Amino acid sequence: MSTITRRSTLHRKEQRVALIFVALPVIGFAVFTIFPLLFSVYASFTEWNGISAPVFTGLANFQAMMVDPYFWQAMWNTLFLMIGIPIGLSLSLLLALALNRKMRGTTFFRTVYYVPVISSIAAVAILWQWAFNGDFGLINQALAMIGIDGPNWLANTATVKPAIIIMSVWKGMGYSMLLYLAALQSVPRHLYEAASLDGAGVLQQFRNVTLPMLRPVTFFLVVTSIIGGSQIFIEINIMTPGGGPEFASASIVWYIWQKAFNYLQMGYATSMSLVLGLIVFAVTAIQFRLNRRNQFSID
Amino acid sequence: MSHSSTTTASPAPSVPHTPLPKLPARRRNAQDKQYRIGNIIVTVLLSLGAIIMLAPLVWTFSTSLKTHEAVFALPPQWIPAPAVWENYLRVWSAGPLWSGIKNSLIVAGSVTVVGTVASSLAAFAFAKMRLPAKNVLFLVLLAGMMVPFPSMMIPQFMMFATIGWVDTLLPLIIPGLFGNIVMIFFLKQYLDSIPDSIIEAAKIDGASFLQIFAKLILPVIKPAIAAQFILWFMGVWNDYLAPIIYLNSPENQTLQLVIASFNATYATQTDYPLIMAASFIALLPVLIIFVIFQRQIIESVALTGAKG
C-alpha cells in the first residue's frame, strides 16, 4: 500500500470517529431544536388544540394577535420589566469597581453578592413574595422603620412591576459583577499609568480607559440579559399566579404558557412564541451590528 | 481577553514599563492615607449592601423556625423565641418533599453525567479532529442557543405527549443526554490552547482516539469539566419551566415544583413557617455545593464572560 492511500484511509477513519463523537449533540439538536422549531412555524398557521390534528387557518392567529389586548399588555409588561437590566448593570459595575480595590474582605463580599445567583429561582420567588407581603413582609417592616407606610406590593398595579424588578436586580447582580470584575482585572496596568502620566484624573481614566476596556463584557451582558429578560416566567408564575392585579405583571412567556397548557390554544400560543423568537433574534442581530460599528469608531 | 483572567485578587503581572517619576515622600503618604480612607468607606458601603443581599435569606430561615403566631409579631423577631425546629420534621409529611428531592436528583444526575461525557467527546472532536465542515456545524449548534426555549416548548411537549411520556421524568432527562452546547463551547475553547503536535505524536504511536482522549485530553480539561458539570447540575436542579409543563402528579414532581405547590397550598392557611422551611431545604444543597466549590465556580463563570 502506498503512503498516500494509507494516509487517506487513516484520515477516513479519523473522520468516522469524529463523526461518532459529535453525533449525539447534532442528533439532539436536530430532534429537540430544529424539528420543534420547524413544527412551530407550521403550527402557527393552524388552529390546534393539541388533541385533534392541526387545521390550517392561514394568518388567522397573527390577525388575532394584533387585536388581542392581553398579548399587547403582556408584551408591554415584559418590556417594562427590562428596566431592571440597566439598573442591575450599573450597580454591578459599581460593585466590581469596589471589589477591584486592594483591600481586605473582597473575596467574602464577592461570595455574598453571588449567593442569590446560584439560588433556586423558585425558592427565591417564594421568599420575595413573602418579603413583599403588605402587612408582615420584610420590605414594609424596613420601610416602617423610616416612617413610610409601604403598599401591598404584589396586589397593586402600580407596584407589582417595580417589586419584580427589585427582586430581579437582587437575584442577577452578582453575575454581572463577577464578569465585570474579571474584565477589570485583565485591564493592563500600564494603560492607567500612561493615562495618569498624561495628566488624566480618576474620572477621565474611568471614561477613557476603563469603560472602553469593559465594552466586550457589557455587550455580552446586555445581549444575554435581553434574551433572558424576554423569557421571564418563573417569578411571575410564583409571585403573581394569576398574572398579577389587572394582568399587570403577566409576561409574554407566562401568557404563552397559559394559552397553550391551560386553554389548549396550542396554535395561537405557538404563533406568539414564534413572534417572541423572531423579536429576540432581530434585537440580537441589531445589537451585533451596532457593536461592530462602534468598534470601528474606536479604532 | 487573556486566558488567565481570573477573579482572584492577585497582583497584576509586572509589565515592563517606564517607572513613574518618584513623588516626594510626603505626597505619597498623603495618597496612601487617602486610599486607606477610601477603603474604609467602600467597606462600609459593601457591608450595608451585603446585609441587603443576605437579609431575605436570613429572614427565610428565621421564619422557618417560628410558630404560626410569631410570624405576625410586630416588631418582627429576627431570632425566633422559641425556635420551632419541629417545622423541619413537620415539613416532610406535609407534602411530597422527599420524592421531590429524589426526582430532582434523578433528573439532574442522569442529565449531567451522561451529557458531560457526550459534550466532552464532541468538544474533543470539534477542537482536535479532522472532520469536513466541522466549523460550520459548530456554528450552527451555537446559533441554536439563540432559540428561546418557549419557541420550541409546545412542539416538544406534543412530541413527548405522542409517545406517552407526559407526567414522567423522561422529557426532562432525554434531551439533556445529548449534551450541552454551552459546555461544548467552553471545553472547545479550553482545548484550542493545547498544541496539536502532542496529539499528532500520539496518533503516530498508534493510540486510538478514545485512548488519546482518556490519557491526554481528559487530564488537561478535568478542571474545566468539573466546573461546567457543577454549573450545569445547579441549572438543572433549579429548572422550573420544563418541569411545570410535563409533571402533574405530586409524586412525580421535582423539588422546585413541590415547594411552589407548598407555597400555593399553605399560604391560604398562613402556615408560612412550613413554606419557608420547604424553601430553605430546596436552597440548601446548591448553597452547600457553592460554598465548597466557589473558587472553581467563580473562575469558570468569569471565564465564560471573558470568552463571550
Listed by start position, the domains of chain A span 3-64, 68-298
CB contacts of A197 in chain B (<8 Å) are: 20
Give the pLDDT of residue B99.
95
- Rounded to the nearest integer, the mean pLDDT of chain A is 91
Nearest-CA distance from A28 to chain B in Å?
Answer: 5
CA distance A186 to A179: 11
Average pLDDT over residues B132-151: 90
List pLDDT tens digits, range B2-15.
343 333 344 444 44
List pLDDT tens digits, range A102-153.
888 898 999 999 999 999 999 999 999 999 988 888 899 889 888 888 899 9
Tell me if A27 and B178 make a contact (CB, 8 A cut-off). Answer: yes
The band of A14, judged by pLDDT with boundaries at 50, 70 and 90, is confident
Tell me if B302 and A270 make a contact (CB, 8 A cut-off). Answer: no
ipTM of the complex: 0.88
Least confident span in A199-203, B136-140, B159-163, B182-186: A199-203
Give the pLDDT of residue B144.
87
Give the pLDDT of residue B75.
73
CA distance B214 to B201: 15
**Between the CA atoms of B246, B248, B251 and B256, what dihedral angle is there, to the nearest 10 degrees?**
60
Asked if B38 reaches chain A (Cβ–Cβ under 8 Å), the answer is yes
CB contacts of B303 in chain A (<8 Å) are: 182
Give the pLDDT of residue B207.
84
CA distance B38 to B28: 15
Q: What is the DSSP string of A105-165?
A: THHHHHHHHHHHHHS-HHHHHHHHHHHT-TTT-HHHHHHHHTT-----GGG-TTTHHHHHH
Tell me if B148 and A230 make a contact (CB, 8 A cut-off). Answer: yes
CATH number of this structure's domain B90-307: 1.10.3720.10
Give the pLDDT of residue A225.
94
| pLDDT above 90 (res A25) | yes
From chain B residues 276-295, the ones with a CB under 8 A of any chain A CB are: 276, 279-280, 282-283, 286-287, 290-291, 294
Give the pLDDT of residue B9.
40
CA distance B244 to B251: 13
| pLDDT above 80 (res B233) | yes
Q: What angle do CA A241, A228, A232 make, to 5 degrees?
A: 10
Tell me if A111 and B294 make a contact (CB, 8 A cut-off). Answer: yes
Find where cell 481614566 sits. Answer: A205
Name which residue leads in pLDDT, A70 or A141. Answer: A70
Tell me if A101 and B152 make a contact (CB, 8 A cut-off). Answer: no
The band of B16, judged by pLDDT with boundaries at 50, 70 and 90, is very low
Give the pLDDT of residue A75.
97
Asked if B129 reaches chain A (Cβ–Cβ under 8 Å), the answer is yes
Give the pLDDT of residue B10.
41
List pLDDT tens digits, range B264-280.
888 777 788 999 999 99
| pLDDT above 60 (res B191) | yes
Give the pLDDT of residue B308.
47
Name which residue leads in pLDDT, A203 or B102. Answer: B102
| pLDDT above 90 (res A98) | yes
Give the homologous superfamily in CATH for domain A68-298.
Answer: MetI-like (1.10.3720.10)
The band of B216, judged by pLDDT with boundaries at 50, 70 and 90, is confident
Nearest-CA distance from A158 to chain B in Å?
Answer: 23
The three three-digit cell numbers of residue A251, written as one number: 409576561
Give the pLDDT of residue B1.
36
Give the pLDDT of residue A250.
96
Tell me if A261 and B245 make a contact (CB, 8 A cut-off). Answer: yes
The band of B24, judged by pLDDT with boundaries at 50, 70 and 90, is low
Give the pLDDT of residue A5.
67
- Rounded to the nearest integer, the mean pLDDT of chain B is 86
* Strand, coil or helix: A173: helix
CB contacts of A141 in chain B (<8 Å) are: 74-76
CB contacts of B287 in chain A (<8 Å) are: 115, 118-119
Average pLDDT over residues A90-113: 92
Listed by start position, the domains of chain B span 27-84, 90-307
CA distance A25 to B141: 8
Q: What is the DSSP string of A19-55?
A: HHHHHHHHHHHIIIIIHHHHHHHHHTTEE--SSSPPE
The percent of residues in chain A predicted with pLDDT above 70, rounded, is 96
The three three-digit cell numbers of residue A196, written as one number: 495618569
From chain B residues 162-201, the ones with a CB under 8 A of any chain A CB are: 175, 177-179, 181, 184
Name which residue leads in pLDDT, A266 or B22. Answer: A266
Q: Residues near B94 by Cβ (< 8 Å), separated by ≥ 6? A: B262, B266, B274, B278
| pLDDT above 80 (res A198) | yes
Asked if B51 reaches chain A (Cβ–Cβ under 8 Å), the answer is no
Q: How many CA atoms lie within 13 A of A107 on its CB side?
A: 9
| pLDDT above 80 (res B17) | no
Tell me if A178 and B302 make a contact (CB, 8 A cut-off). Answer: yes
List pLDDT tens digits, range A233-272.
999 999 998 899 999 999 999 999 999 999 999 999 999 9
Amino acid at A278: L
CB contacts of B8 in chain A (<8 Å) are: 107
